Amino acid sequence: MIELQGLTKTYAGKNVVEDVSMTLETGEFGVLIGPSGCGKSTTLKMINRLVPLSSGRIILNGDDVTELPAEQLRRRIGYAIQSTGLFPHWSVARNIATVPQLLKWSKSRIDDRVDELMAMFHLDPAEFRDKYPHQLSGGQAQRVGVARALAADPEVLLMDEPFGAVDPITREALQAEMRRVHGQTGKTIVFVTHDMDEALQLATRIALLNNGRLVQYDRPIEMMVKPADDFVREFFGQADLGLKLLSRRWVHQYQRPPSLTHHATLPGLDHCWRLDEAGRPIVLEGARLDDQHQHTDVRSEWIATPEMSMKEALSRMVWYRVMVLPVVDETGKLIGEVGMQGIMGIESDGGLHAGGPAS
Ligand SMILES: Nc1ncnc2c1ncn2[C@@H]1O[C@H](COP(=O)(O)OP(=O)(O)OP(=O)(O)O)[C@@H](O)[C@H]1O
């Protein structure tokens, strides 16, 4: 658990962060968001003392951060930033091992940890261990940066616009990966972004700042449906509210068993998946918007995964004109399906009302 108590930062007589107090429970994914210059980065950097506090306190699992010895600070608080900050003349493995090396872990323990983190971020050690940062794509470099920040298994991970410099597709992949890693590690994360979609994708708690002050600190859905004031309402915007809410719903919440034989249920829904011998979907019979009886080859672009947002699933259904998407596991095997009816709440109660699942 991390507690910010009355954090204030003053530059030249002006408070750029003013009396910010919030508590993030262990395992929460907290996102600091707000307009440019509102004090997000300064708040984050006060947490690991890159910026000294003017006043206030930061308590990490009972300990005052300002009093932690430097070695404990490095071990207990990980930090990942947009430019990655990787050392250019160090290999990927050595970069990831930065903090464990400073902490003088044994070579075998460091090697094991590097391999474990590379596996977690889907970086094949045989291919990437000995590469240098300039040999990596932007997305790979970001993965290494986050792996390095996690190396000593910190109690809290700070991330300052880590995906700000990568293209939108890589960014989405990194966000999905971050959600998976958060789920796997249960880490407490404080993440700065100015991108609302990113905040909605990742946060379990959102802190909205304006002019250095904390305007609202809440669960994402509450921020949208119960804005504290006009600034929050305008910041989140009421346009596309249904779609924004769908960006907080996940395919696994709407998934149902796949239809493997034809049977008429709801009109337009009679359909059936044909699988290859490995259980991967290859053809969808029926369930087209245009021609219900058409056979459609399953394409990778309209496959869904359990962690995908329902907004993305809906977008794929509309774009590819199908009423259902196959849901596959990591090996591509069909494990379920998700359909228009589910989104509209026709066949489940997981609809769009605010009382639904919120994580
Ligand atoms: N070292 C400094 N000296 C003086 N003023 C500073 C310093 N660092 C930041 N500021 C000011 O503090 C305010 C908050 O800056 P901060 O970087 O925290 O904002 P931010 O919300 O992260 O912005 P952005 O989204 O644009 O990165 C800004 O007005 C900035 O100009």
Confidence band, pLDDT 50/70/90 cuts, at residue 351: very low
Domain that holds residue 220: 2-238
Q: Is 274 in the same domain as 315?
A: yes
Q: Quick one: pLDDT at residue 268?
A: 56
Q: Which atom of ligand 1 is nearest to the CA of 51?
A: 1
Of the pLDDT bands very low, low, confident and very high (cuts 50, 70, 90), residue 1 is very high
How confident is the model over 8-30, as a mean pLDDT? Answer: 96
CA of 38 to the centre of ligand 1 (A): 7
Of 58-62, 93-97, 256-260, least confident by mean pLDDT is 256-260
Instruction: Assess whether 270 and 193 both reside in one domain.
Output: no
Atom of ligand 1 nearest to the CA of 44: 18
Q: Which one of 10, 32, 38 would you pick to mutate in the ligand 1 pocket, going by the greatest count of ligand atoms within 8 A of its CB?
A: 38
Length of the chain equals: 359
Q: Which two tokens stand for residue 209?
A: 């700042």
Same domain, 164 and 110: yes
**Residue 34 Cα: closest atom of ligand 1:** 21
**pLDDT in the model for residue 266:** 55
Is residue 33 situated within a structural domain? yes
CATH number of the structural domain spanning residue 158: 3.40.50.300
CATH number of the domain where residue 260 is located = 3.10.580.10
Q: What is the pTM of this model?
A: 0.80
Ligand 1 centroid from CA 10, angstroms = 11
Say how many Å lie between the CA of residue 41 and the centre of ligand 1: 7
pLDDT band at 355 (very low <50, low <70, confident <90, very high): very low
Q: How far is the CA of 39 from the centre of ligand 1 (A)?
A: 6
Q: Atom of ligand 1 at shortest distance to CA of 194?
A: 25
More confident residue, 147 or 172: 147
Instruction: Please name the residue whose Cα sits nearest to atom 2 of ligand 1.
Output: 11
Ligand 1 pocket test target in 33, 41, 215 with most atoms within 8 Å of CB: 41
Q: Is residue 227 part of a domain?
A: yes
Q: Looking at the structure, tell me whether residues 150 and 266 fall in a common domain.
A: no
Lowest mean pLDDT among 43-52, 66-75, 180-189, 344-353: 344-353
Whether 8 and 124 share a structural domain? yes
In ligand 1, the atom with minimum distance to the C-alpha of 32 is 21
Q: How many CA atoms lie within 13 A of 98 on its CB side?
A: 21
Q: Are residues 208 and 263 in the same domain?
A: no
pLDDT in tens, 76-131: 999 988 776 899 999 999 999 999 999 899 999 999 999 999 988 889 999 999 99
Select from 15, 16, 191, 214 the residue to mutate for testing ligand 1; criterion: most ligand atoms less than 8 Å from CB.
16
Residue 357, in any domain of the structure: no
> What is the C-alpha separation between 8 and 42, in angstroms, rounded?
10
Nearest CA to ligand 1 atom 11: 16
Ligand 1 mean position to 17 CA, how many Å? 9
Q: Are residues 193 and 292 in the same domain?
A: no
Comparing 64 with 286, the larger pLDDT belongs to 64
Give percent of the chain above pLDDT 70. Answer: 91
pLDDT at position 100, please? 93
Q: Is the pLDDT of residue 353 over 60?
A: no
Residue 263: predicted pLDDT: 64
Residue 238 confidence (pLDDT) above 70: no
What is the SS3 assignment for 171?
Answer: helix
Task: Give 299 Cα–ligand 1 centroid separation in angstroms.
Answer: 46
Nearest alpha carbon to residue 145 among 199, 98, 202: 98
d(CA 49, CA 70): 10
Ligand 1: residues with CB < 6 A are 11, 16, 34, 36-42, 194
14 alpha carbon to ligand 1 midpoint, in Å?
A: 11
Domain count, the chain: 2
Q: pLDDT tier at 267 (50, 70, 90 boundaries)? A: low
CA angle 75, 146, 181 (to 5 degrees): 100
Q: Largest alpha-carbon pair distance within the chain?
A: 72
Last residue of a domain, one of 205, 238, 271: 238
Q: Within a domain: residue 245?
A: no
Of all protein residues, the one whose alpha carbon is nearest to atom 8 of ligand 1 is: 42
179 CB-contact burial (10 Å; exposed 0-12 / middle 13-18 / buried 19+): middle
Q: In this predicted model, what pLDDT tens digit does every residue of 290-349 receive, in sequence order?
A: 665 678 888 888 899 998 889 999 989 888 888 889 999 989 999 999 988 777 764 443
For residues 161-172, give the mean pLDDT. Answer: 82
Could you give the C-alpha distances from 270 to 192, 265, 321, in angstroms and in order?
45, 6, 15
Q: 78 by DSSP, 3-state: which?
A: strand
**Per mean pLDDT, which range of 19-33, 61-75, 337-351 is the poorest?**
337-351
Of 208, 238, 268, the residue that ends a domain is: 238
The pLDDT assigned to 349 comes to 39
Q: How far is the CA of 16 from the centre of ligand 1 (A)?
A: 7
DSSP letter (8 states) at residue 322: B
Q: State the alpha helices, DSSP H only, in the chain.
A: 40-47, 70-76, 92-96, 98-102, 107-120, 125-128, 138-150, 168-185, 196-202, 220-225, 230-236, 241-246, 251-254, 310-320, 340-343
Q: pLDDT category, 357, cuts 50, 70, 90?
A: very low
- What does pLDDT average to over the chain? 87
Q: Which residues have CB under 8 Å from 198's CB, separation 6+?
A: 31, 163, 171, 175
Task: Give the range among 66-75, 145-154, 338-347 with minimum mean pLDDT.
Answer: 338-347
Q: Phi and psi (nearest 5°) for 35?
A: -65, 160
Q: How far is the CA of 142 from the centre of ligand 1 (A)?
A: 23
What gap in Å lies between CA 231 and CA 244, rounded to an integer? 18
Domain identity same for 93 and 230: yes
Note whether residue 257 is domain-resident: yes
Domain annotation covers residue 81: yes
